[in-house]
Amino acid sequence: MQCVVLAAGEGKRMRPLTARRPKVMLPVANRPMMEHLVLAARDAGITEFVLVVGYGEREVRSHFGDGSRFGIHISYAPQRQQMGTADALRSAQDLVTGPFLAMNGDMILTSADIARMIQTPAPCMGTSTTDHPGDFGVVIVENDRVIALEEKSKQPKSGTINAGAYLFTPDIFELLAQVSISSRGELELTDALNVLIDGHRLRAIPLPTWMDIGYPWDLIDANAALLTNISSVNQGTVEEGVYLSGQVVIGKDTVIRSGTYIEGPCIIGSNCRIGPHAYIRGSTSIGDECHIGHCTELKNSIIMAGTKIPHFNYIGDSVIGSGCNFGAGTKIANLRHDHAPVRVGGKDTRHTKFGAVVGDNVRFGINCSVNVGTVIGSHANFAPNSYIEGSFCENSAIR
């Protein structure tokens, strides 16, 4: 059994976080999201992988290499133009030798779900359920057979959705060759799936643990879910007077200074400086070479590598890119006064608590205030005492 992972897209809904990295390389629990998926497939018994790459492929190749450090073998299939899911899957045709699992690289699955799926006769499609099916492709199922697919609709006919995981035989490539460009200007995998559906050949396999990562707030949910499974590890230095509660992972050469209080689950990368007197609350991931300083509080957030949050800061329910610097007293709000769901760029996050999305290398002066639902592009700069709300493009400068 081989596994083809579709990882060529940019992930525009994740901008500004994907301005300089592909979506599948965004960190969740301090690992690229696609690494979690690849390891789950490996633990289900698959050792041969084909990664379809395109946007940011150098970063994918550099991280995964030939797969040997993960105990697997990886081949790469470049998709030179992102022409849709059918085109992406066709890119892997010359590397596929038999029945194979195909998955979108931007989701979370468990090894148990994958193992159950690959034991099912091909062809089959993984499905999940949601209370907002209008955001996804909807699947109509009778018994165990898919009888119809419905593109995103304001009035979906079902709460069952396409999970983006499939088990195929090489016969699928004959169907893919017949797919023509859709009204969206893409070669759609769903056109090939509809041929299988018309022949009553496509099975539906429920995947109860599936998580989609389509927007930045989904990163926070996935991060919190994956951190529930960690076990405490300490490879750094914890000074006297530090209190650790719950499961906490501390990376190599990281120093936790006196007076710091850390509530698990929490993961801290290598070569970080934490404290003194920092307060890190649950479901927080901190990347390598970060500085979280005196009287700084973090909660339910992702902090990417090389970011400095040195003193008297608060960040809650936010995603912070790499190489950022927060001036003393800069804070991010994460709750509306009316407790209504936070909206980002007009999109309902369905989260009553959500802070901000901050790109890479953003610099804040002292005492900046960032309101809920703010999106800040990479390399933006803000003067001291700035009030920051709404969306800011790359290289913005607020004086």
Please give the backbone phi and psi of residue 51, each rounded to the nearest 5 degrees, phi first.
-100, 120
Closest by Cα among 27, 10, 28, 7 to 19: 10
Handedness of CA 213, 214, 217, 219 (dihedral sign): positive
Kind of pairing between the strands at 356-358 and 343-344: unpaired
At 168, the amino acid letter reads F
Task: Specify whether 311 is catalytic.
Answer: yes
DSSP category for residue 340? P
d(Cα 142, Cα 156) in Å, to the nearest integer? 16
Confirm if 257 and 242 have CB atoms less than 8 A apart. yes
Active-site residue, selected from the candidate residues 36, 311, 351, 379: 311
Name residues whose C-beta falls within 8 Å of residue 262's C-beta, 6 or more positions apart in sequence: 242, 243, 244, 245, 248, 256, 268, 274, 278, 280
List the catalytic residues. 311
